[in-house]
Structure 1
Amino acid sequence: MSHPDIANLGEDFVSQWLQSTGWIILQRRFSCRWGEIDIIAQHSENILEPILAFVEVKTRSPGSWDNGGRGAITFKKQAKIEQTARMFLAKHPEKSDYACRFDVAIVSCQISSQNHRDLSVTQEAVATSLIGEYRFQLQEYIIAAFDSL
């Protein structure tokens, strides 16, 4: 499987996990001239103060050169995500008063011999999913990983 396919599967996995924890996925791969946001999700547990999460997903094989994707969230990348989030809010002014935050999902991917699509919680990872021949693990979900709008 190619790198973009693995990245898309990692985003699918995180979207599924977010939905299982009460989030509504508003948009996937929102893009504009400033950049792209992998997942935009809304949580309305407290209806008076809904939350928007702009989620950057980093899917890597174990032992990657950039610390599982953490090293790829540079200040320049953060600025692009923030500008893109501003464009999303400009297109959706009804959400402009929502509390906003920028989350990062660190996903590990490796080849597995099993072939099913169960989502389960494990001790060493937040969640695990087997998709085809690949095992995806949500290693870390970093809430408010960098300053919000």
Structure 2
Amino acid sequence: MPNPSPSNYPDIGTLGEDLVSQWLESCGWKILHRRWRCRWGEIDIIAEYLGTEGKEGKERATPRENDISASAGNRHLTLAFIEVKTRSAGSWDTGGRDAITTRKQEKLVRAAQMYLAKYPEKSDFNCRFDVAIAFAQKASEYNNTNKNFENIASVSTPHHFLMLQEYIPGAFDSFD
């Protein structure tokens, strides 16, 4: 059996999750789990944000995210279940957006409920479902002077260049 190609999709997916995890940590989030699994499926990243109010009473928020609302005293508690979609040029599913079907959302909600049952101390957190869209390009095809995409964060590896193009907090409804 031949060795897998360095450009196979599982490797690109892992690299996309690494990029998103690093970006979240740089924004003050704590990564609790990567690829958390249960019988309903897998959650790519589970992260918590323990925001605190600043001097002016305004909470510190991550870029493009202003909706942290649950609080305990002066601490704002958010638990994000994050689906990461990493795609290369020419993907069939609009860069991963079309892969977040109603069925996929239901599986993520059920998996999150299983997570909260296993970790009941997190049940008071404001829970939400975020989606991260990343783009991967082979390093040999990447031209730094001709960027086609705006990005939030990026990383280079010997084989790929990855960009976090979009981070959607509360991408779909979760808990009633």
Taking structure 2 as the reference length, the TM-score comes to 0.77
Structure 1 residue 63 displacement after superposition: 2.8
Larger Rg: 2
Which AA in structure 2 matches 1:74? Answer: T
1:19-34 residue pairs with structure 2 within 5 A? 19-34=25-40
Pairwise mapping of residues 77-88 of structure 1 onto structure 2 (< 5 A)?
77-88=104-115
The equivalent of 1:54 in structure 2 is 81
Give 2:121's match in structure 1, choosing from 76, 81, 94. 94
CA distance in structure 2 between the aligned counterparts of 1:93 and 1:86, rounded to whole angstroms: 10
Pairwise CA distance, 1:14: 0.6
Tell me if 1:12 matches 2:39. no
AA of the residue aligned to 1:38: D
Give the C-alpha shift of residue 49 in structure 1. Answer: 2.8
**How many Å separate the matches in 2 of 1:26 and 1:18?**
12
Large movers: runs of 4+ above 2 Å: 46-49
User: Match of 1:137?
Assistant: 163
User: Could you say what secondary structure the match of 1:50 adopts?
Assistant: strand
Provide the residue aligned with 1:117 in structure 2: none
Deviations 1:10-43 (A, max 9, x none): 1111101110111000000011000110000000
Provide the rounded CA distance (Å) in 2 between the counterparts of 1:63 and 1:143. Answer: 25
Find the aligned partners of 1:143 and 1:62 in 2 and give their Cα distance. Answer: 24
Q: Is the counterpart of residue 36 in structure 1 residue 42 in structure 2?
A: yes
Query: How far off is 1:112 after superposition?
Result: 1.5
Distance in 2 (CA, whole Å) between partners of 1:49 and 1:109 is 34
Distance in 1 separating the partners of 2:75 and 2:10: 38
Structure 2: where are the runs of 5+ without partners? 1-5, 53-73, 142-148
- Alpha-carbon separation, structure 2, partners of 1:125 and 1:76: 28
In angstroms, what is the RMSD of aligned CA positions?
A: 1.4
For 1:80 and 1:113, how far apart are their aligned partners in 2?
37
Q: Distance in 2 between matches of 1:112 and 1:48?
A: 42
5+ residue gaps, structure 1: 115-122
8 Å contact kept, 2:79–2:126: yes
* Count of aligned positions: 141
Identity %: 57
CA distance in 1, matches of 2:28, 2:115: 22
